Amino acid sequence: DAGVTQSPTHLIKTRGQQVTLRCSPKSGHDTVSWYQQALGQGPQFIFQYYEEEERQRGNFPDRFSGHQFPNYSSELNVNALLLGDSALYLCASSLRFSSGNNEQFFGPGTRLTVL
C-alpha cells in the first residue's frame, strides 16, 4: 500500500516564475491538505481539498492556488514566486469522515528554492 507521494523532490526557480507541485494521497483517502514549512519552523496550513473543491484556506495570498482531480490527487500552484516562498511543501492526506479524528498522513515533501 503506497503512502502519500509527492513530486518533484527538489525544485529551483527564480523570482517571478510559477511552480506546480503534485501529490498523490494514500490509498483510500479522499482529502488532501497542503502545508508550507519554512526552515526551522513548524508546518503552516495552506489549504485543503475535498470533492475537487477548496474547503478551507489558511492565511496565504491568492498567488497560492490548487486543484484536486477525480482520482483525489492534487496540485499546488504558486505564481509570481518570491524569495520568501522558499520552503518545504508538504502534502497530507486523510479520510473526510473518519469518526472525527483528522488523522493526516504526510508525504516526503517538495523542497522549493527560489533564487
Binding site for other proteins (CB under 8 A): 4, 33, 35, 40-45, 48, 55-56, 58, 90, 92, 100-109
Q: Least separation, in Å, of the C-beta of 107 and other proteins? A: 5
Q: Least separation, in Å, of the C-beta of 90 and other proteins? A: 6
Cell representation of residue 79? 505564481
SS3 call for 82: coil
> Which of residues 17 and 68 has its CB atom nearest to other proteins in the complex?
68
Q: Least separation, in Å, of the C-beta of 97 and other proteins? A: 11
The CB density around residue 23, as the number of other CB atoms within 10 Å, is: 27
Its sign, for the CA torsion 93, 89, 69, 26, is negative
Strands of 64-68's sheet in order across: 5-7, 19-24, 74-78, 64-68
> Which of residues 16 and 61 has its CB atom nearest to other proteins in the complex?
61
> Which of residues 18 and 106 has its CB atom nearest to other proteins in the complex?
106
> Which of residues 8 and 16 has its CB atom nearest to other proteins in the complex?
8
Cell representation of residue 20? 506546480
